[in-house]
Amino acid sequence: MNNGTNGRILVVEDDPDIAQMLELYFGGLGYGVDVAMQGGDALALCRRQIPDLIVLDIMLPDMDGYQVCRTLRTTTRTSHVPIIFLTQKDERSDRIAGLELGADDYITKPFDVDELRLRVQNAIRAHQRMNMTDPRTGLPSGRLIEDQLRRLMRLPSWTLVLAGIDHFGPFSDAYGFVAADEVLRHTAILITELLNEHGTDDDFVGQSSGDSFIIISLAEDVNTLVATLRQRFAAEIPTHYNFLDTEQGGIIVGGRLVPLMQLSAGVVVSGAQPFADIREITEAAAESRQLDQARTAA
């Protein structure tokens, strides 16, 4: 899925003419657009990279849009994504069925593409205004992270990882916010990819601040995920620097060398200590990350 300045849209539509028209139209407006012509393909795309919004046709060849919506809403990582149903059906019962499943809006064919544009634009902006997602990565933030942390208090077994990008500030100052946003998007995609490989469908990733990410996993072996994440990040991050900075191993700031960005991680495991509330969990994760940073700097 290509990134767009206005967000990422997944169009789930089996009519190739409509799908291509929407891809070209929204792509021309600065959105990143991907297309799935079957429900199963749409779910697979969402696992690889979470879109900012989904335009979902109800009539699909392999499963109906209701089933796709139900799966998205009951999967932790996609439960927050805005969904606009796009269909030829105009019955009141069909609209109610879609809204009851958690769809955010509903538009019928034939549709006015400008009306759809406004609905898409408003849904993405409303979602971001409610502090639900980070506009740079599309990952859950704010209240959605808090909701997932509260979920931990009811689960018997879990692991929380606070992964942060060290030396991100000096990089942003030297290279500018556009390059810095690219690093954040790259990291978000990398974490999602590794969760698909080493995690479970009920795992969660969110962006807790400008340079840190929250990972909640129910997998038994999270250490492999964290180790692989560090290795992949270290191997791939030099491509975001120019040749000189890569060769010298960092950026010269005030006469001293600030190393290339790297990941530090704080890991908290259920049962390690009693937690009275979610604040204690996040404090423990922050302390663990600080210890990891100290070990790396030593």
The encoded tokens of residue 206 equal 């969110």
What pLDDT, in 10s, does the model give residues 244-263? 999 999 999 999 999 999 99
Q: In what order do the strands lie in the sheet with 32-36?
A: 32-36, 8-12, 53-57, 83-87, 105-108
Categorize the per-residue pLDDT at 214 as very low, low, confident or very high, splitting at 50, 70 and 90. Answer: very high
Return the closest-CA partner of residue 52 out of 112, 145, 132: 132
Instruction: Indicate the SS3 state at residue 171.
Output: helix
- Give residue-wise pLDDT tens across range 7-54: 899 999 999 999 999 999 999 999 999 999 999 999 999 988 889 999
Residue 3 pLDDT: 56
